[in-house]
Amino acid sequence: HYRDSIRDVRQKFKFKDLILGRNYRYGNDSSNFHSSFSEPGIINLTGLSFNTVDGFKYALPFWYNFNDTLGHRFHANALVSYAFSRKAIYAEAGVKYRYSGIKQRWVSFSAGHVLQDFKGNNGVSPLGNSIYTLLFENNFQKFYDKQFVSAHWGTEIINGLLLKAGFQWAKRLPVTNHSDFKVIDVKNRSFTSNIPVIAGIKDWQLKRSIAVVG
pTM above 0.75, yes or no: yes
Spatial separation of the C-alpha atoms in residues 214 and 212, rounded to whole Å: 7
| % the chain with pLDDT above 70 | 93
The confidence score (pLDDT) of residue 172 equals 96
Q: Quick one: 86 exposed, middle or buried, by C-beta within 10 A (0-12, 13-18, 19+)?
A: buried
- Residue 53 or 159, more confident: 53
In this prediction, residue 92 has a pLDDT band, given cuts at 50, 70 and 90, of very high
**What digits encode the pLDDT tens for the residues 130-172?**
999 999 999 999 999 999 999 999 999 988 899 999 999 999 9
Q: Is the pLDDT of residue 9 over 80?
A: no
The confidence score (pLDDT) of residue 25 equals 86
81 phi/psi in degrees, rounded to 5: -135, 155
Q: Quick one: 118 exposed, middle or buried, by C-beta within 10 A (0-12, 13-18, 19+)?
A: middle
Q: Which of 167, 170, 177 is nearest to 209 (CA)?
A: 170
Mean pLDDT throughout 95-106? Answer: 93
CA distances for 115 relative to 9, 99, 206, angstroms: 38, 32, 14
Q: Is the pLDDT of residue 7 over 60?
A: no
Task: Please state whether 8 falls in left (phi above 0), alpha (psi between -120 and 50) or beta.
Answer: alpha
The confidence score (pLDDT) of residue 4 equals 54
In this prediction, residue 70 has a pLDDT band, given cuts at 50, 70 and 90, of confident
In this prediction, residue 1 has a pLDDT band, given cuts at 50, 70 and 90, of very low
Mean pLDDT of the chain: 90
112 Cβ contact partners less than 8 Å away, ≥ 6 residues apart: 79, 90, 91, 92, 93, 94, 147, 148
> Helix, strand or coil for residue 73?
strand
Mean pLDDT throughout 62-87? Answer: 95
**What digits encode the pLDDT tens for the residues 165-202?**
999 999 999 999 999 999 999 999 999 999 998 878 88
The confidence score (pLDDT) of residue 184 equals 95
Q: Is the pLDDT of residue 126 over 60?
A: yes
